[in-house]
Amino acid sequence: MKLISFYSFKGGAGKTTALMGLCSALAFKQKKIALFESDQNRPLTRWKENAIRNDAWDQACEVFVADELPLMVDAYGQADLGGFDYGLVDAHGAPSHLNNCIIGSSDYLLVPTMLTPLDIDEALATCRYIIELLMAERLQAHTAILRMRVPIGRLTVSQRAAYDILDVLPLCDTPMHERDAYAAMKERGMLHMTVAKMADDPATRRMLHYSQRALDELAMIGAFIEKTLES
């Protein structure tokens, strides 16, 4: 099982949304995904409940509550034995022993950021923390910034400046644009399942186009990550 962690010092950076999106993209490719919930607010447990209610939960995925180190170790062991292809970790907030262990055990670290100066400062601080920790422990893990909520249309001058700063850093090649389909995932469930349901229902067919584009974007991010992990 490959471990992919979503980490950022800043709340509201898009960690949970990026995780839900990547989970949908990988589950769409028939992968078995373990989701490790280390945020005590339990956004993933609620996501699963909402998704099941909407018939938009892929049974090949499971949520493991792992907000303390012994729970994380136990959950990781269970998932590894259970034949899951990927573990996705929603790591929350400030540095902690649990987060350090998550960083040290990850194959891929994704740092989501929006395009404001404050968000970028926090993303850079997060990356620096990750790199220093990995170097101190003599470990290696792929690390990339994932640009979140990038406007579909024209960027403002400050967003363009933010883009230029990020350009010299290790980046996921495709951003997650600002899309209603992403914001709605936490209520609706997994995006690939929502898209399949929309296609069957004449009333929602109009929304299908936008949701499908979101799913295509996620597929590109998923392919980028899988390719890096295979290399």
89 binds ligand ADP (CB under 6 A): no
Q: At 154, phi and psi to the nearest 5?
A: -70, 140
What is the distance of C-alpha 125 from the center of its chain?
A: 19
Q: How far apart are CA 41 and CA 75, in angstroms?
A: 18
Which of residues 31, 48, 147, 149 is near ligand ADP by CB under 6 A? 149
189 binds ligand ADP (CB under 6 A): no
8 Å CB contact between 75 and 37: no
* Interacting span for ligand ADP (CB under 6 A) from 29-37, 45-53, 59-67, 171-179: 171-179
Tell me how far, at minimum, the Cβ of 136 lies from ligand ADP, in Å: 25
121 binds ligand ADP (CB under 6 A): no
Q: Is 93 left (phi over 0), alpha (psi -120 to 50) or beta?
A: left
Which of residues 3, 4, 5, 15 is near ligand ADP by CB under 6 A? 15
> Which candidate, 91, 131, 87, 103, places its Cα nearest to that of 8?
91
* Interacting span for ligand ADP (CB under 6 A) from 6-14, 24-32, 97-105, 122-130: 6-14
Cβ atoms < 10 Å from Cβ of 84: 22
Q: How far apart are CA 157 and CA 172, in angstroms?
A: 22
67 binds ligand ADP (CB under 6 A): no
Q: How far apart are CA 153 and CA 180, in angstroms?
A: 14
8 Å CB contact between 54 and 82: no
* Interacting span for Mg ion (CB under 5 A) from 10-18, 110-118, 147-155, 212-220: 10-18
Tell me how far, at minimum, the Cβ of 77 lies from ligand ADP, in Å: 26
Q: Which helix (H) or strand (E) holds 129?
A: helix 117-136
72 binds ligand ADP (CB under 6 A): no
17 binds Mg ion (CB under 5 A): no
Q: How far apart are CA 213 and CA 178, in angstroms?
A: 12
Which of residues 25, 61, 98, 148 is near ligand ADP by CB under 6 A? 148
Which of residues 3, 4, 14, 58 is near ligand ADP by CB under 6 A? 14
194 binds Mg ion (CB under 5 A): no
183 binds ligand ADP (CB under 6 A): yes
* Residues found near ligand ADP in the complex (CB under 6 A): 8, 11-17, 148-149, 176, 178-179, 182-183
